[in-house]
């Protein structure tokens, strides 16, 4: 089933072609309800091609538009805008035709999967296993998870790749420190437990910086590790597995699943990538691959230093060692050649912009990535404190993500207790139920607050805002869903058993307003999948929750359980059910679980 936006776009395209023109229909959701539900301003762009004034062209287009089954007669406004207002009977038919939740199509709210499913890699989270996850890992983890969920929902095959940092000189230091302070690890590496990874790293680094003997010992350990010494590798593996256990406790709380594939996974492929480049250097004389100051470098057009000199991408250092560029090229080759990816999305902070531009250019220049593969750096801004400064502890260190989630749950528990005193939240929660709801609400608040911000901007981390029971927040969305479910319990109604063939009656302005928002669910999810912008979904859910609040309001809205007739009651209960299902599905795509009571 096409979304309303897609259907109007097709109809508009047909009208454009009917008058002998070609161009983008430019159909968009109207920003002002006074001008209808959707709007097209294509007449302005096509006027020059047609040799007419925009308003005259708009009139010709309207003559050829065939939308009477969807809309009231289109209106022309201003210099040539074409406004569409959906017919109530069309909305009733569209929403009434959504199958019950017991059917697969009903669980998707009638939204079809992509006609052209692809294999997609989403590169997300990717912490350094030498340390604990901190607040800086939040955005990549939850944004990447949301993007993966939406693409999976649309029918794509998605690999959620956690490209963890598990290789390099720092691991030689950590293994050497382990052997010094816990020598028993050499005999029983599988029994390794480290309660505080961050403190362990700081202790090792402090010793490395002040003790020359230990520094030498660490460097020798790196050599043994890279040469594949079995004993050193066993201890290194045990450390990485212990660090990953710390990470997966966080992932479990966030509801995130992924495939751990660290830098070490690609060590052999890095050798192969360098060998391929060496062959190119021997055969080509265009300067793409060449030796510079003893290092093997790639030079792509368009990349310059501040002085205007060609900017190299070093793939093998003068001492023969590899770096992030080598690892990332090998990873990219693996994803294209072994996983068969046709779309690769790197969810990484904005400061890495140039690195990914060079990486993508190098891979295409080398011929390893063709035009049929999309490479996308999904960049995002930083998390700041309430005053707009970098989010750090009082001591100036990185804020552990575990501590953030713990505090979120504690604060959510206080919000629940306060809401209970005010009568807004269920008073009958047992202590165990309150803990469960607090965990879900607290985690949801952190995730939703992050996802509600535009990716390309920094945002200020604000506990009071994210945990508010009002506004565009997770607690309010969860409350809105739970409130609808409580309507069913109050009326002795099982939403799932409502007759699927009962017609929707959309007459009251609040009914129509809610129906219009519900009708946009499909196109919103499609837009998130296309543009990779989770905040489009949070904005939609906020609008939906507000529309339902007005619908159910005693003064602005309608009576539901005590509706004037059984037919109207059933119709309004079906609208309640569709709203709850849209909220639950939308929150699920954000990686947020709902609660039935709150």
Instruction: Tell me the backbone φ, ψ of residue 284, rounded to 5 degrees.
Output: -105, 155
Q: What is the pLDDT of residue 27?
A: 97
State the CB neighbour count (10 A cutoff) for residue 102. Answer: 10
Q: What is the pLDDT of residue 369?
A: 97
- Measured distance CA(269)–CA(264) in Å, rounded: 10
- Contact present, 273 and 315 (Cβ < 8 Å): yes
Q: How confident is the model at residue 535 (pLDDT cuts 50, 70, 90)?
A: very high
- Contact present, 565 and 178 (Cβ < 8 Å): no
The edge-to-edge listing of strands for the beta sheet with 295-304 is 289-292, 295-304, 310-316
Name which residue leads in pLDDT, 69 or 187. Answer: 69
Q: What is the pLDDT of residue 47?
A: 92
> Rg of the Cα trace of the chain?
28
What is residue 119's DSSP assignment? E
Of 551, 597, 541, the residue nearest 572 (C-alpha)? 551
Q: Within 88-229, where are the H helices?
A: 88-96, 104-107, 136-153, 169-181, 197-210, 212-227
Residue 429 has pLDDT above 80, yes or no: no
Torsion-angle region of residue 414: left (phi > 0), alpha (psi -120 to 50) or beta?
alpha
CATH 3.30.1360.70 domain position(s) in the chain: 4-86
Instruction: Tell me the backbone φ, ψ of residue 424, rounded to 5 degrees.
Output: -90, -20
Matching CATH number, 266-378, of 3.20.20.70, 3.40.720.10, 3.60.110.10, 3.40.50.620: 3.40.50.620
Residues of the chain with pLDDT > 70, as a percent, come to: 99
Average pLDDT over every residue of 79-96:
96
Residue 299 in tokens:
């030079």
Residue 249 in tokens:
């406790």
Residue 356 in tokens:
């990914």
pLDDT digit string, tens, across residues 263-305: 999 999 999 999 999 999 988 778 899 999 999 999 999 999 9
Of 112, 107, 67, 74, the residue nearest 90 (C-alpha)? 67
Best-predicted range by mean pLDDT (144-158, 276-290, 430-444): 144-158
Name which residue leads in pLDDT, 54 or 197. Answer: 54
Question: Strand pairing partners for 334?
Answer: none
Average pLDDT over every residue of 593-597:
93
- Contact present, 164 and 127 (Cβ < 8 Å): yes
- Contact present, 326 and 128 (Cβ < 8 Å): no
Name which residue leads in pLDDT, 345 or 185. Answer: 345
For the CA atoms of 166, 204, 134, 193, the dihedral, rounded to the nearest 10 degrees, stands at 70
Instruction: Determine the 3-state secondary structure of 313 from DSSP.
Output: strand
- Contact present, 514 and 583 (Cβ < 8 Å): no
Instruction: Tell me the backbone φ, ψ of residue 290, rounded to 5 degrees.
Output: -160, 165
Residue 329 has pLDDT above 70, yes or no: yes
- Measured distance CA(247)–CA(242) in Å, rounded: 9
Residue 194 has pLDDT above 90, yes or no: no
**Strand spans (E) along 504-582:** none
Best-predicted range by mean pLDDT (215-229, 416-430, 523-537): 523-537
- Measured distance CA(552)–CA(545) in Å, rounded: 11
- Contact present, 298 and 277 (Cβ < 8 Å): yes
Q: How confident is the model at residue 148 (pLDDT cuts 50, 70, 90)?
A: very high
Q: Which class for 517: exposed (0-12), middle (13-18), buried (19 or more C-beta within 10 A)?
A: buried
DSSP 314-377: EEE-TTS---HHHHHHHHHHHHHHTS--SEEEEE--GGGHHHHHHHHHHHHHTTSS-TTSEEEE
Residue 425 in tokens:
């939240």
Spelled out in words, what is the top-level CATH class assigned to the domain 4-86? alpha beta
- Measured distance CA(376)–CA(341) in Å, rounded: 12
- Measured distance CA(77)–CA(36) in Å, rounded: 11
CATH 3.40.50.620 domain position(s) in the chain: 266-378
- Measured distance CA(445)–CA(188) in Å, rounded: 41
Name which residue leads in pLDDT, 61 or 434. Answer: 61
Question: Strand pairing partners for 161?
Answer: 123, 259
Residue 223: HSE in the Cβ half-sphere, 13 Å Cα cutoff: 7
Residue 415 has pLDDT above 90, yes or no: no
- Contact present, 86 and 68 (Cβ < 8 Å): no
Residue 131 in tokens:
């340390």
- Contact present, 165 and 262 (Cβ < 8 Å): yes
**Strand spans (E) along 408-526:** 459-460
pLDDT digit string, tens, across residues 354-412: 999 999 999 999 999 999 999 999 999 999 999 999 888 777 778 999 999 999 999 99
Q: How confident is the model at residue 327 (pLDDT cuts 50, 70, 90)?
A: very high
- Measured distance CA(119)–CA(140) in Å, rounded: 20
- Contact present, 151 and 529 (Cβ < 8 Å): yes
Q: How confident is the model at residue 573 (pLDDT cuts 50, 70, 90)?
A: very high
Q: What is the bridge-based pairing of β-strands 289-292 and 295-304?
A: antiparallel
pTM of the model: 0.94
CATH 1.10.730.10 domain position(s) in the chain: 401-589
- Measured distance CA(424)–CA(426) in Å, rounded: 7
Mean of pLDDT over the chain = 94
Residue 427 has pLDDT above 70, yes or no: no
Instruction: Tell me the backbone φ, ψ of residue 233, rounded to 5 degrees.
Output: -65, -40
Q: What is the pLDDT of residue 420?
A: 73
Average pLDDT over every residue of 202-224:
93
Q: What is the CATH number of domain 401-589?
A: 1.10.730.10
pLDDT digit string, tens, across residues 228-256: 999 999 999 999 999 999 999 999 999 99
Residue 1 has pLDDT above 70, yes or no: no
Q: What is the pLDDT of residue 396?
A: 72
């Amino acid at each position: 089933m096409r979304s309303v936006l897609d259907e109007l776009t097709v109809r508009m395209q047909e009208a454009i072609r009917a008058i002998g023109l070609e161009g983008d229909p430019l159909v968009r959701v109207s920003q002002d309800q006074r001008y209808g539900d959707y709007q097209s301003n294509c007449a302005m762009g096509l006027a020059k091609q047609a040799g007419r004034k925009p308003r005259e062209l708009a009139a010709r287009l309207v003559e050829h538009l065939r939308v009477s089954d969807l809309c009231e007669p289109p209106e022309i406004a201003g210099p040539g805008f074409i406004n569409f207002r959906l017919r109530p009977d069309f909305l009733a038919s569209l929403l009434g035709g959504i199958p019950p939740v017991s059917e697969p199509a009903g669980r998707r709210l009638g939204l079809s999967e992509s006609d052209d499913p692809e294999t997609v890699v989403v590169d997300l989270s990717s912490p350094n296993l030498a340390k604990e996850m901190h607040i800086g890992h939040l955005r990549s983890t939850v944004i990447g998870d949301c993007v993966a969920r939406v693409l999976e929902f649309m029918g794509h095959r998605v690999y959620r790749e956690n490209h963890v940092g598990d290789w390099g000189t720092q691991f030689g230091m950590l293994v050497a420190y382990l052997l010094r302070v816990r020598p028993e690890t050499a005999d029983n590496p599988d029994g390794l437990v480290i309660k505080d990874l961050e403190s362990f790293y700081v202790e090792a680094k402090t010793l490395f910086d002040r003790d020359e003997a230990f520094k030498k010992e660490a460097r020798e350990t790196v050599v043994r590790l890279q040469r594949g010494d079995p004993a050193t590798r066993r201890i290194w593996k045990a450390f990485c597995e212990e660090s990953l256990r710390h990470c997966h406790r966080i992932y479990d709380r966030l509801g995130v699943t992924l495939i751990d594939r660290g830098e070490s996974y690609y060590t052999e492929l890095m050798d192969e990538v360098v060998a391929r480049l060496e062959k190119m250097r021997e055969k080509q004389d265009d300067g793409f691959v060449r030796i510079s100051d003893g290092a093997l470098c790639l030079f792509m057009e368009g990349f310059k230093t501040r002085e205007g000199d060609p900017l190299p991408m070093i793939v093998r250092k003068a001492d023969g060692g590899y770096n992030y560029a080598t690892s990332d090229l090998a990873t990219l080759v693996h994803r294209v050649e072994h996983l068969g990816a046709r779309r690769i999305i790197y969810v990484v902070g904005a400061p890495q912009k140039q690195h990914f531009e060079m990486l993508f250019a190098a891979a295409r220049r080398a011929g390893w990535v063709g035009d049929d593969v999309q490479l996308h750096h999904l960049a995002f801004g930083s998390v700041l404190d309430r005053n707009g400064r970098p989010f750090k502890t009082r001591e100036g260190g990185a804020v552990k993500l575990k501590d953030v989630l713990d505090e979120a749950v504690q604060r959510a528990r206080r919000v629940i207790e306060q809401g209970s005193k005010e009568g807004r939240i269920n008073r009958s929660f047992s202590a165990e139920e309150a803990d469960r709801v607090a965990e879900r609400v607290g985690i949801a608040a952190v995730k939703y607050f992050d996802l509600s911000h535009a990716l390309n901007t920094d945002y200020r981390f604000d506990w009071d805002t994210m945990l508010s029971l009002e506004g565009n927040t997770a607690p309010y969305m969860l409350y809105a869903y739970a409130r609808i479910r409580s309507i069913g319990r109050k009326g002795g109604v099982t939403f799932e058993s409502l007759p699927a063939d009962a017609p929707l009656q959309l007459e009251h302005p609040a009914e129509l307003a809610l129906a219009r928002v519900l009708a946009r669910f499909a196109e919103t999810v499609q837009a998130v999948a296309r543009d990779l912008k989770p905040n489009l979904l949070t904005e939609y859910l906020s609008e939906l929750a507000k529309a339902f609040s007005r619908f159910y309001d005693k003064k602005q809205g309608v009576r539901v359980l005590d509706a004037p007739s059984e037919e109207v009651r059933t119709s309004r209960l079906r609208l309640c059910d569709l709203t709850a299902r849209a909220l639950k599905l939308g929150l699920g795509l954000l990686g947020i679980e709902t609660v039935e009571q709150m």
